[in-house]
Amino acid sequence: MGQLTKIKSPVSEDLSRFNLLFSKTMKSKVPLLDIITNYVLKRKGKQIRPLFVFLTAKMIGEVNSSTYTAATLIELLHTATLIHDDVVDDSYERRGFLSINALWKSKIAVLLGDYLLAKGLLISVENKEYKILEIVSEAVKEMSEGELLQIQKSRKLNISEEEYFEIIRKKTAALIASCTASGARSVTADNTIINQMKDFGIKIGMAFQIKDDLFDYEKTTITGKPRGNDIQEKKLTIPLIASLAKASPSERKEVLKLINRKSSKRLTHNKIYNFVHEKGGLEYAKKRMYEYRDEALNILNNFKSNEALKSLSVLVNFIVERKN
Q: What is the pLDDT of residues 68-95, one digit of tens each?
A: 999 999 999 988 888 887 777 777 777 6
Among 176, 73, 80, smallest CA distance to 131 is for: 73
Among 173, 45, 190, smallest CA distance to 131 is for: 190
* 93-135 per-position pLDDT tens digit: 776 678 888 878 888 888 888 988 999 999 999 999 999 999 9
Residue type, 139: A
CB-based contact 68:76 (threshold 8 Å): no
Mean predicted confidence (pLDDT) in 247-276 = 81
Domain boundaries of the chain, sorted by first residue: 2-321
Mean predicted confidence (pLDDT) in 235-257 = 92
Give residue 109's pLDDT.
86
Residue 185 to residue 83: CA distance in whole angstroms? 28
Give residue 29's pLDDT.
86
Q: Does residue 227 have a pLDDT over 50?
A: yes
Query: pLDDT band at residue 224, thresholds of 50, 70 and 90?
Result: very low
Contacts of 7 (CB under 8 A, 6+ apart): 51, 55, 311, 314, 315, 318
Q: For the domain 2-321, what is the CATH superfamily, name and number?
A: Farnesyl Diphosphate Synthase (1.10.600.10)
Secondary structure of the chain as H, E, C letters: CHHHHHHHHHHHHHHHHHHHHHHHHCCCCCHHHHHHHHHHHHCCCCCHHHHHHHHHHHHHCCCCHHHHHHHHHHHHHHHHHHHHHHHHCCCCEECCEECHHHHHHHHHHHHHHHHHHHHHHHHHHHCCCHHHHHHHHHHHHHHHHHHHHHHHHHHHCCCCHHHHHHHHHHHHHHHHHHHHHHHHHCCCCCHHHHHHHHHHHHHHHHHHHHHHHHHCCCCCCCCCCCCCHHHHCCCCCHHHHHHHHHCCHHHHHHHHHHHHCCCCHHHHHHHHHHHHHHCCHHHHHHHHHHHHHHHHHHHHCCCCCCHHHHHHHHHHHHHHHCCC
Give residue 150's pLDDT.
87
With 0.85 as the threshold, say if the pTM is over it: yes
